[in-house]
Amino acid sequence: MCDSITDRASSSEAPSDDLAKWQAEKAFREREVAVKEKELTIKEAENAASKWRNPLVVAIFAAAVAAAGNAVVALTNGIFQRQLETQTSEHSRILEMIKTGDPDKAATNLKFLLDAGLVADPDNYRKLKAFLDTRKAGSGPTLPAPESQRIVGQVVTSHAGDSPEDGPDATSCVSADVANGWHIVPGSGHIVTDSIVNGTLSVTVQDETPDHYCGTFHITRADRGHSAGASAHADAVERSSTGSNRSLGSSSQQETSTLPYLK
């Protein structure tokens, strides 16, 4: 009787021990799964962050930022450059318009700029219009008109052995491709030029008169307000009355004459 009661108590204690162990193991497994989940989440975050820490990705990102910055700077510089060029051209136009020597004519030219829309800067337009509206006749800024000078390329006739200023007439012409060069005024024996010229220039004479000679005048001194030395007949050519030319060769003797500057 007593043995049966003891066996029954032992059998009832065994399931309770198994249940406790199972519950403890379950709780351990749950904690282990939670830890694994946290580790997985941390790894995923690290992997996502590591993509942006990759040297290649960083280099590409830096290059993109630099390119965008350069584009902004280039665009800004282009805008400012166009504005500067516009202002410079407008100022140059205004200065050209007042190079008349006459204040009233200068004002007429400035009004033309406004009417034609050639003054795009609002500030310049407003100031210029206000000036023209308040200007009195005969007053206002003006600059001297540029001298009306042109390269005619004409020289006096030169005979063999004569200096350029000793020619009997002024029928000779010269074909000169050199701009800003010195030339001799027909019939005056004077030299004129359209600007200051330094250095040595040469002008080739083409004499249209029969039985005359043409040569090359080498301008050896070209200082404004001073005289210029010229040597003639470097390469003399004789033109006959029939229009044919005969080369006389280069003259060994070069005569030098001093021609006064035409003031």
Give the residue, 20 or 217, on which the prediction is more confident.
20
Q: Do the domain assignments include residue 25? A: no
Q: Are residues 249 and 174 in the same domain?
A: yes
| Among 226, 214, 218, 229, CA closest to 178 | 218
Which helix or strand (DSSP H or E) is residue 149 part of?
Answer: none
> For all residues of the chain together, what is the average pLDDT?
61
- State which residues form the domain around 208: 164-259
Distance CA 25, CA 237 (A): 127
**Same domain (yes/no): 108, 183:** no
DSSP string, 181-208: --EEETTTTEEE-SS---S-EEEEEE--
pLDDT of residue 161: 38
- Choose among 145, 204, 215, 149: nearest CA to 175: 204
Integer Cα distance of 19 and 129 in angstroms: 104
Tokens in use for 11?
């059998």
Residue 177: closest CA among 212, 144, 202:
202
| pLDDT one-digit tens code per residue, 157-181 | 333 334 444 443 333 333 333 333 4
Residues 114 and 171 in one domain: no
Of 232, 218, 235, the closest CA to residue 181 belongs to 218
Residues 122, 169, single domain; the answer is no
Instruction: Give the pair of three-digit tokens for residue 174.
Output: 């010269």
| Number of compact structural domains in the chain | 2
Lowest mean pLDDT among 90-104, 137-151, 190-204, 245-259: 245-259
Instruction: Please provide the distance, in angstroms rounded to a whole number, between the alpha carbons at the two ends of the chain.
Output: 159
Instruction: Tell me whether residue 43 is in a domain.
Output: no
Q: Report if residue 31 sits inside a domain.
A: no
Residues 130 and 213 in one domain: no
Residue 36 forms part of a structural domain: no
What average pLDDT does this structure show over 129-144? 85
Question: 118 with 68, same domain?
Answer: yes
Rounded CA-CA distance 36/122 in Å is: 72
Whether residue 23 is contained in a domain is answered as no
Phi-psi region of 106 (alpha: psi -120 to 50; beta: other; left: phi over 0): alpha
Do 113 and 172 reside in the same domain of the chain? no
pLDDT at 75: 93
Tens-digit pLDDT profile for residues 29-58: 888 888 888 888 888 877 776 666 777 878
Statement: residue 1 has pLDDT above 80:
no
Q: What are 81-131's pLDDT values in tens digits?
A: 988 888 888 888 888 888 888 888 888 888 898 888 888 888 888 888 888
Residues 177 and 246 reside in one and the same domain: yes
The reply to whether 174 falls in a domain is yes
> pLDDT, tens digit, for every residue of 213-255?
333 343 333 333 333 333 332 233 333 323 333 333 333 233 3
